[in-house]
């Protein structure tokens, strides 16, 4: 499934103005397969000069008759064709995503389908971006229109390349914007395929440019570029702050989807079979490398022992292996991230927490060269410990106990983050009372993530960011309001 070992790595160019092109200085980035540590491909390493080319390409396309003059209905038809083509190439894209990112193949397949769904969803919305009339009385007609905000710069992370690339690009294109998409250098392959697919489906050149590159080079040049009109960023808080400052220098609005330390709150009356499945999926999916991962488990004290035993049994049964082999848990994206996760597990021990499952690097012939860590459950965690407050970005679950609803709310909200929360209980009154107290952008009850949540506005409170992606709410970020007032007699 992983292909012949002797096959030479591919060399992938940037996509600018509808064509593949080398970086201006000929630079390349080695893309590693996290499952083996071997080189998967080389991609062009975009320079600031390449960013200038891509932005100029997007600007020209925005003002062209081919795109600027396209009707909203035709934009919708184009987006729907892209969705269909993604589905036609679904298995190819899923395997590439699994090799590039390391995630289990079934998770990569889901990501591909979700990416297609984004294009479908926004295809249906493209001709429904409407304004309003404002009653001012006789002699005055006032109305608003929503116009494309312009060139959208989109800096996406390595954990969900095709899904996050699809969600941002599809919404921007539905609104009539053009896009410069910079995927992370760790996993850029499916974002480049997305750019190819858009062109195959008739997207005018320059509407979707894809420029892999390093953050300090291409990312900095894009975020600070004077000719972009909007910026969408997904990544860490520290980098997000720097990116926002760069954009502010040109008065460019930003959508920020940053870190998370999301709680799953489990009451003693919960359905434990469904809860264990939901809780473990929320933290171990994509090896915990998810901004919205349910990395804190708050358990009512009288349910603690049973939950811990169930979690220990579940994690011990999980199969670890290369992503294309479709295990329960794939590798971490890089050696650097693996070292960070191990460091946090060590910090947990030093703080007095107890590792009740996992916490080590697994061994075995199939894992040689890859970046693997066991699914890890840490018990007896205090709400103020670093492992309960700082984002680890790995398959590490911290367990904290509580005695009543008020304490659960206080612990859950004791965080600089506020992205997602989950509540597990059979008591709807208890669920709603707690949901109103959560300082998070999304609250789930007896579920978590809602199957990709294409239709559901997604974004954070506090340092988890601002603005919203997904759903119709996302279109607001890619449009600007113009008011027209007419006096008549």
User: The CATH number of the domain where 408 resides is what?
Assistant: 3.40.309.10
Of 478, 470, 17, give the one whose Cα is nearest residue 203: 17
Q: How many residues in the chain?
A: 489
pLDDT for 450: 67
Residues 26, 168 within the same domain: yes
In the chain, which stretches have pLDDT less than 50? 1-7
Residues 118, 22 within the same domain: yes
3-state secondary structure of 205: coil
Residues 212, 281 within the same domain: no
Q: Which domain holds residue 399?
A: 263-452
Residues 442, 368 within the same domain: yes
Residues 179, 307 within the same domain: no
Q: Is residue 2 part of a domain?
A: no
Residues 250, 356 within the same domain: no
Q: Is residue 4 part of a domain?
A: no
Residues 393, 474 within the same domain: no
Q: Is residue 165 part of a domain?
A: yes
Domain CATH for 120 = 3.40.605.10
Q: Is residue 190 part of a domain?
A: yes
Residues 270, 146 within the same domain: no
Of 438, 456, 464, give the one whose Cα is nearest residue 263: 438
Torsion, Cα of 373, 375, 380, 383 (10° steps): 80
Among all residues, which ones are annotated catalytic? 257, 291
Q: Is residue 126 part of a domain?
A: yes
- Provide the 10 A C-beta neighbour count for residue 415: 26
What's the total number of domains in the chain? 2
Q: Is residue 458 part of a domain?
A: no
Residues 213, 268 within the same domain: no
pLDDT for 5: 42
Residues 313, 391 within the same domain: yes
pLDDT for 2: 42
Instruction: Supply the pTM of this predicted model.
Output: 0.95
Residues 353, 446 within the same domain: yes
Residues 196, 273 within the same domain: no
Collect contacts of 233-239 with beta carbons under 8 A, ≥24 apart: 233/154, 233/155, 233/257, 234/155, 234/156, 234/157, 234/164, 234/258, 234/291, 235/155, 235/157, 236/391, 237/416, 237/463, 239/215
Q: Average model confidence (pLDDT) for the chain?
A: 96
3-state secondary structure of 399: strand
Q: Is residue 305 part of a domain?
A: yes
pLDDT for 9: 65
227 token code pair? 């000719």
pLDDT for 342: 98
pLDDT tens for 231-286 read 999 999 999 999 999 999 999 999 999 999 999 999 999 999 999 999 999 999 99
Q: Is residue 461 part of a domain?
A: no
pLDDT tens for 165-180 read 999 999 999 999 999 9
């Amino acid at each position: 499934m992983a292909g012949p070992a002797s096959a030479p790595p591919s060399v992938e160019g940037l996509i600018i103005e509808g064509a593949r092109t080398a970086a201006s200085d000929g630079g390349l980035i080695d893309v590693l397969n996290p499952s083996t540590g071997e080189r998967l491909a080389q991609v062009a390493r975009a320079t600031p000069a390449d960013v200038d080319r891509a932005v100029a390409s997007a600007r020209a396309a925005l003002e062209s008759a081919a795109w600027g003059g396209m009707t909203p209905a035709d934009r919708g038809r184009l987006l729907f064709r892209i969705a269909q083509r993604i589905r036609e190439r679904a298995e190819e894209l899923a395997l590439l995503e699994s090799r590039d990112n390391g995630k289990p193949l079934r998770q990569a397949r889901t990501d591909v389908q979700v990416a297609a769904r984004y294009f479908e969803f926004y295809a249906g919305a493209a001709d429904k971006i409407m304004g309003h009339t404002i009653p001012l009385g006789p002699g005055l007609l006032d109305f608003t229109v929503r116009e494309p905000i312009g060139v959208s710069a989109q800096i996406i992370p390595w954990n969900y390349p095709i899904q996050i690339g699809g969600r941002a690009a599809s919404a921007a294109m539905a609104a009539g914007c053009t896009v410069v998409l910079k995927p992370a250098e760790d996993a850029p392959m499916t974002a480049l395929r997305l750019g190819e697919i858009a062109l195959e489906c008739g997207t005018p050149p320059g509407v979707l440019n894809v420029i892999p590159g390093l953050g300090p080079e291409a990312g900095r040049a894009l975020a600070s570029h004077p000719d972009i009109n909007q910026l969408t960023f997904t990544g860490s808080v520290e980098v997000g702050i720097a990116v926002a400052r760069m954009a502010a220098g040109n008065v460019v609005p930003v959508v920020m989807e940053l870190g998370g330390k999301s709680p799953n709150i489990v009451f003693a009356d919960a359905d434990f079979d469904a809860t264990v499945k939901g809780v473990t999926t929320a933290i171990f999916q994509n090896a915990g490398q998810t901004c919205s991962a349910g990395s804190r488990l708050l358990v009512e004290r009288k349910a603690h022992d049973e939950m811990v035993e169930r979690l220990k049994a579940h994690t011990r049964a999980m199969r670890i292996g290369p992503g294309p082999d479709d295990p329960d848990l794939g590798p971490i994206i890089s050696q650097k991230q693996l070292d960070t996760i191990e460091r946090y597990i060590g910090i947990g021990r030093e703080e007095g927490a107890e590792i009740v499952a996992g916490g080590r690097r697994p061994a075995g012939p199939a894992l040689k060269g890859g970046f693997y860590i066991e699914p890890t459950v840490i018990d007896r965690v205090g709400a103020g410990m670093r492992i309960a407050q700082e984002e680890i970005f790995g398959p590490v679950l911290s367990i904290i106990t509580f005695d009543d609803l008020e304490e659960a709310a206080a612990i859950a909200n004791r965080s600089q983050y506020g992205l997602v929360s989950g509540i597990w209980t059979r008591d709807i009154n208890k669920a709603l009372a707690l949901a109103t107290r959560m300082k998070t952008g999304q609250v789930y009850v007896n579920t978590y993530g809602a199957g990709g949540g294409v239709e559901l506005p997604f974004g954070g409170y506090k340092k988890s960011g601002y603005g919203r992606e997904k759903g119709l709410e996302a279109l607001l970020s890619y449009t600007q309001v113009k008011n027209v007032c007419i006096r008549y007699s």
